[in-house]
Amino acid sequence: MEAEKKKLIPKSALIKAALNWENWVQTCYNYERMMGQSVVMTFLPVVKHLYPDNKEKQIDVLTRESEFFNVHTEFGSCILGMAISLEEDKAQGADIPNEFITNLKTSLMGPLAGVGDTIYQGVLIPILLALCIDITRAGNGNIWGAILYAVLMIAISYGLSIGNFMFGYNAGGDAIMDFLEKGILNKLLSAASIMGCMVMGGLIVNYVGIKCGLVINASGTMFNLQESLFDAVLPNILPLGATLGIYGLMSYKKWTSIRIILLIVIVSVIGGFFGILA
């Protein structure tokens, strides 16, 4: 029965819609509607299949889809798939109020943006970048890390966005809710956090370069603080301390990154001038 119902939109138009979303989502990003106009772009290829001979109805659909919308591109594409599927049901006479579609879109927007931004920009990209930066800087340097990152990122983004779009179209809003509540994403997130923490630990050692340059003249013998104290107790303790210190300021004192940058510059100027830091 389900399969019989969904016949209005050909597969090619759906894929075109999904690509329109992924391709043009941020080209006109603005404070007023955020991604509202991108939703219109997504609906453009399908709207003529929904109401083939009724321009008035087509205008109605696009007008209500042009409202404020903002989500994480790849994780949120299932909302677009779902909205198209609902509009399709509606076009076939199902009793779906306009507000229902809008409300469902708005209610899914928040959770998916939160999950998407955290997993994508907070976990996936940093881990992938860290590994590819390390490949690039290995030995005398090479270009393969940068190329690997670009290829992987394009593949992941397009694969996830289009797959997720089709999931939303085929499974509908309830399935998206179910998936969010099942906690699969949270489990993935906690496993990825463990891996991410391991990589970040290694990154601190390899790429945060800070040493104490102080040499104390203790009754004729030179006492190099870095070599005789820090390196003897635990090498890299200064980079670890600096990173955790910045983390603490941002996390507990709510410092912005701009303030941290200023702090780093001030500390470096003072430390570098007097030779405390090297």
Partner 1 sequence: MSIVQALLCGIVYWIAEADIPFVSLWVLQRPLVCGLITGIILGDPVQGAVIGASINLVYLGFISAGGSMPADMALAGILGTAYAITGGLDAQTALAIAVPLGLLGTIVWYLRMTFDSIFVHMMDRQIAAGEFSKIPWTVCVLPELMAGVFCVIPATLAAYFGASYIQPFIEMCQGTPMQIFSVIGGLMPALGIAITLQYIFKGEARLFLFLGFMVATCTHMTLIEQGIVGLLVALLYTQITDKIKAAPAVSAAGAGGAGYDPDYDPDED
Instruction: Tell which positions 213-232 bind partner 1, by CB under 8 A.
Output: none
Token pair of 159 as six digits: 């694969």
Map residue 268 onto helix, strand or coil: helix
CA distance 82 to 170: 8
CA distance 199 to 193: 10
Examine residue 252 and tell whether it contacts partner 1 (CB under 8 A).
Answer: no
Count of residues that bind partner 1 according to CB under 8 A: 108
Q: Tell which one of 174, 195, 216, 227 touches partner 1 (CB under 8 A).
A: 195
Stretch that binds partner 1, among 5-13, 81-89, 162-170, 199-207 (CB under 8 A): 199-207
Examine residue 132 and tell whether it contacts partner 1 (CB under 8 A).
Answer: yes
CA distance 50 to 46: 7
Number of C-beta neighbours around residue 210 at 10 A:
17
> Would you give the binding string for partner 1 spanning residues 70-99, x where CB under 8 A is met?
x-----------------------------
Exposed / middle / buried, residue 231 (Cβ in 10 Å: 0-12, 13-18, 19+): middle
Number of C-beta neighbours around residue 93 at 10 A:
7
Site for partner 1, residues 16 to 35, rule: CB under 8 A: 22-34
CA distance 67 to 16: 21
Examine residue 143 and tell whether it contacts partner 1 (CB under 8 A).
Answer: yes
**CB-CB contact of 79 with 168 (8 Å):** yes
The smaller minimum CB distance to partner 1, of residues 172 and 196, is found at: 196
Site for partner 1, residues 148 to 187, rule: CB under 8 A: 149-150, 153-154, 157, 187
Stretch that binds partner 1, among 6-14, 86-94, 172-180, 192-200 (CB under 8 A): 192-200
The smaller minimum CB distance to partner 1, of residues 5 and 142, is found at: 142
Examine residue 147 and tell whether it contacts partner 1 (CB under 8 A).
Answer: yes
Q: Tell which one of 121, 184, 216, 223 touches partner 1 (CB under 8 A).
A: 121
- For residue 217, report the phi and psi dihedrals to the nearest 5 degrees: -90, 95
